[in-house]
Chain A
Amino acid sequence: MKKNKLNKVIIAAICIYLVLPLLLTFVYSIFSEWKSVLPEGPTLKFYVHLFSDTGFLLPILRTFIISVVPVIICTILILLAMYVITVHLPWLDKYMQILCTIPYAIQGIILAIGVLSLYSGLPEPLSNRIVMLILTYCIVVLPYLYRGIKNSLNSINAALLLETAQVLGSSRFHAFFAIIVPNIVPGISVSVMLSVSILFGDFVIVNIIAGSYYTTAQIYLYRLLFESGQTSSAVVCILFALTLLMTNGALSLYSRLNKKLLVEKEE
């Protein structure tokens, strides 16, 4: 009984520790002033201002685009690579693993400066900042997507399913994309959403590579910090709500897809 109480206290303390900063940020964003103990003058003017300002909505849209496009490109590339590895060249898998783990070890700032110094002098489209940013993001999300897809492939015994489909008259390419991929969609969707969330929150890379060319929500927030504390707090709350919505969407998608595949046994 005592132990149970202690557990509850620990969990409550952790929850408060995690939620309190966000809660205070939100409170700060809905009051005009907070100079004494309690804030004064409740208002929603910061939110109204943000939602009526295209200068804020556009960066949100840009952030969304720049988070989704690299993930789509990278997912397609990894699936094609995994097809080749699973079907034709299984011995390449260990090299793929090493290759896909390297980005974990490279910090964002090093990656961004490296890419910028290497490609900025080259002709278009390589020196185009948006192209550069998208391709850099592809590298950033590579480990997350690769791991997710690889683990999903392991969990369904892809090699055996491929052989079965072949014996039943399917080509290996058809078997991979008609049987293997639909069966790993739950795993892929989780990796995709995780990757999108990571890119959605990035500031370092986008600021170095395309800060003045492509204002995302994070850059907008950074600039706003010097102008208005309440407005930037409102931006933080909106970004948090959006990320929450995305994560929630991913989780419900995952459970819906998984329901079909992993229904509890009747017997």
Chain B
Amino acid sequence: MSYIRFENINKSFGSNHVLRGINLDINKGQLVTLLGPSGCGKSTLLRILAGLETPASGRVILDDEDITNMDPRFRNVGMVFQQYSLFPNMTVSENIAFGLKLQKKTSISDIKKYTAEVIEMVELKGKEKAYPAQLSGGQQQRVALARSIIMKPKVLLLDEPLSAVDAKLRKALQFQIREIQKRLGITLIFVTHDQDEAMIMSDVIHLFSEGKIEQSGHPIEMYTTPKTRFAAGFIGHYNILNPDEFSTITGEHSPDGFDLAIRPETVEISAEPQSPGMNAYQLTAVVVGFIPHGNVLRYTVKIAGILLQIDVLFRSFKLFEPGQTVYLTIEKRNCLAVQSSEA
């Protein structure tokens, strides 16, 4: 039996059917990411688990207990919001100790001890007496995290917690959250629309689209074998070709109802024709342009009016110039058949 179970969850806001019969199992101690574009229902599912929304139908089971209609304050679920949501009139220490003080189960000396421990864990020592307005965005988010983990929740929910912090800090916080989750062995559900963040942090990714789970799996599995056009488009930077486009550039046909997805880094590009063998396609293309992406150069090339993107490791200054004719080699096994959206 899984630790958290969503059974046939449906939820609507007016005429907007946000969640459509979600069935989802989450195991204890995992870091699970709900990934998807804005409005796909991932945050709503999180809020249903926290008790901040009630499903129209379906059940939520947490640790063998049906919590569907339980008051949020009795669920022992921690939640960190995108906007930090710290209490402005309380110091860092007071914010963190708020939940424990309310419970009235822990002595004042223990509360102080636990507060000091989590403050150290989130690296905020020296900021105990600071008010939220005196902290940076990253520090505020760490206070919010500490405020939740001090309660030793059964599950910790993070609703796009890093969307409001800058890219450098986001990377550091991703690492820190993962470390804390591993150290405490806590079950953590992370909501994000950032596929890179999901890939870095998760044990399991559930990809949402229009209120349904499009695909679930380990990050590597999600990246290497997307099942649908949507999954291929959302995770990674696949070149997605419809059957006509695929036929135009390769002369072969794709299975009915399927598009072909090709990862940019699996395409080899060279200035001279190669001998690809039987298991690869050799294509002639013209360079349209390129953009540096950190240590990768992303070329855009054109074949019979169809644009493809190709990633090349940025190892030398030898570049293919726009207008230059280049030769592409694509292994057939790297052309993945994905269900087209119409299918």
Contact = CB atoms under 8 A, between A and B. Distances in A.
A161 B89 CA distance: 12
B209 to A, nearest CB: 26
Contacts of B83: 157, 160
A225 to B, nearest CB: 48
Contacts of B73: 166-171
A106 interface: no
B88 A183 contact: yes
A260 interface: yes
Nearest to A174: B102
Given A261-B131, A265-B133, A167 B50 contact: yes
Interface in A3-52: none
Given A157-B83, A161-B87, A261-B89, A166 B52 contact: yes
A183 B134 contact: no
A164 interface: yes
Nearest to A171: B73
Interface string A170-213: 11001000010011000000000000000000000000000000
Interface string B128-149: 0011011110000000000110
Given A260-B131, A263-B131, A266-B134, A167 B102 contact: no
Interface stretch (B74-82, B161-169, B188-196): B74-82
Interface string A248-267: 00000000000011111111
A265 B88 CA distance: 13
Given A157-B85, A160-B83, A182-B89, A169 B134 contact: no
Interface string B41-76: 000000000111000000000000000000111110
B100 to A, nearest CB: 9
Contacts, number: 76
A156 interface: yes
B72 A166 contact: yes
A163 interface: yes
A169 B99 CA distance: 6
Nearest to B157: A167
B103 interface: yes
Contacts of A156: 88
A164 B79 CA distance: 7
A165 B130 CA distance: 20
B12 to A, nearest CB: 17
A183 B89 CA distance: 6
B98 interface: yes
Contacts of A157: 83, 85
B202 to A, nearest CB: 22
Nearest to B75: A167
A262 B133 contact: yes
A167 B79 contact: yes
Contacts of B148: 168
A261 B52 CA distance: 27
Contacts of B50: 167
Contacts of A165: 87, 98
A166 B148 CA distance: 12
A156 B132 CA distance: 12
A267 B85 CA distance: 20
Interface in A217-255: none
B122 interface: no
Interface in B148-166: 148, 151
A167 B52 contact: yes
B81 to A, nearest CB: 6
Contacts of B147: 168
B52 A163 contact: yes
Contact of A170 (B79, B89, B102, B131): B102
A167 B134 contact: no
A267 B136 contact: yes
Given A261-B133, A262-B133, A263-B134, A160 B89 contact: no
A238 B151 CA distance: 57
Contact of B88 (A163, A170, A261, A267): A261
Contacts of A174: 102
Contacts of A179: 87, 89
Given A261-B131, A265-B134, A267-B136, A167 B88 contact: no
Contacts of A263: 131, 133-134
B77 A167 contact: yes
A264 B73 CA distance: 33
A129 B72 CA distance: 49
A167 to B, nearest CB: 5
B141 to A, nearest CB: 13
B44 to A, nearest CB: 13
Contacts of B87: 161, 164-165, 179, 183
B78 A167 contact: yes
The 9 closest A-B pairs by CB, nearest first: A168-B99, A164-B85, A166-B72, A169-B73, A167-B79, A169-B102, A182-B89, A160-B85, A261-B88
21 contacts: A157-B85, A160-B83, A163-B81, A163-B85, A166-B52, A167-B52, A167-B72, A167-B73, A168-B99, A168-B147, A168-B151, A169-B74, A174-B102, A179-B87, A183-B87, A183-B88, A260-B131, A261-B131, A261-B133, A265-B134, A266-B134
Given A168-B99, A266-B134, 17 more contacts: A157-B83, A160-B85, A163-B85, A168-B73, A168-B147, A169-B103, A170-B98, A171-B73, A179-B87, A179-B89, A183-B88, A183-B89, A261-B88, A263-B134, A264-B133, A265-B133, A265-B136
